[in-house]
Structure 1
Amino acid sequence: MSYTKVAIGIILKKNKVYITKSNEIKYNANIWEFPGGKVKENENIIYALKRELLEEVGIIILKFNFFQYKKIFFKKLKLYFFLIKKWKGQAHSKEGYKYSWIFFKKLKFCKFPVFNFIVIKKLKNIY
């Protein structure tokens, strides 16, 4: 069975995390997400993470740690979450999405894809 790999960055700034909300036209309209995207064929997961965050958020990653792995069987996805602790540039939405810096404890009140809540719970326990 072939899975689509997705690199996801959890961008941290003190006790806040960067989240983005997709456009109304897209499939996941009105759902908050951590930025990232699909790994291209023959692309390294780390390169994909760096490429996606530069394209979507406008930052160059300087320091990161692997955080969580999640396989979503019904969607044939492999999600790789990374904590982004240091970057260069001003984090903003380059693709016209809404974005916010939100306190960790308020993440539970935002509408996220269901499989993100395991990550959010783990974040809450760390921060």
Structure 2
Amino acid sequence: MKYTNIVIGIIIKKNKIYITKARKKKYVLDLWEFPGGKVKENENLTYSLKRELSEEVGLKILRFRFFRCIKYFYKKIKLYFFLITRWKGRIYSKEGYLYKWIFLDDLKYFNFPSPNSHIIHDLEKMIFFK
């Protein structure tokens, strides 16, 4: 079974997380998300992550680490989540997205795609947010 690979950056600044939402409803649901996108053919995850976050929010990643991978079987996608803790440039929305910096404890007040519930739960357990 061939999966579509998607890289996602969880951008962390002090005790806040950057989230985005499309202005125009590209999808049926109106959901918040962490920035990222599809891995192109013959592209590795690291390069794809750097490219996607440059395109979407205008940043050059300096420090990151792999966080989790979630397989979404019925949609045939693999979501690769990375923690981004250092970057160069000012973060902004290049692709017409709404965005917010929010406290981790406030994630529960925003609607995210269902696979993100596992990621949010794991983030809540991380010590650097305490």
Q: TM-score, normalised by structure 2?
A: 0.95
Say which SS state the counterpart of residue 115 (structure 2) adopts. helix
Aligned pairs (5 A) from 1:54-73 = 54-73=54-73
Specify the alignment match of 2:51 in structure 1.
51
Deviation digits for residues 85-127 of structure 1 (CA, Å, limit 9, x no counterpart): 0000011100111000000000011000011010001111112
Question: What is the alpha-carbon distance in structure 2 between the residues aligned to residue 22 and residue 28 of structure 1?
Answer: 11
The share of aligned pairs that are identical, in percent, is 59
User: How many residues end up aligned between the 2 structures?
Assistant: 127
Tell me, in whole angstroms, the C-alpha distance in 1 between the residues paired with 2:7 and 2:37: 6
CA contact under 8 A between 1:57 and 1:93: conserved in structure 2?
Answer: yes
Q: For 1:6, give the aligned amino acid.
A: I
Distance 2:111 2:85 in 1: 24
Following the alignment from structure 2 to structure 1, what is the Cα–Cα distance between the partners of residues 105 and 62?
Answer: 26
In the TM superposition, what is the alpha-carbon distance from 1:28 to its structure 2 partner?
Answer: 5.3
Aligned to 1:83: 83
Q: What do you get for the CA RMSD once the two structures are aligned?
A: 0.9
- Superposition TM-score, scaled by structure 1 size: 0.97
In the alignment, what sits opposite 1:93?
A: 93
Contact 1:4–1:39 (CA under 8 A) maintained in structure 2: yes
Structure 1: which 5+ runs fail to align?
A: none
The answer to whether the Cα contact below 8 Å between 1:23 and 1:30 also exists between their aligned partners in 2 is no
Residue 23 of structure 1 and its aligned partner are, at CA, apart by 2.5
Which aligned runs of 4 or more in structure 1 are off by greater than 6 angstroms?
none
| Cα separation, 2, equivalents of 1:57 and 1:25 | 18
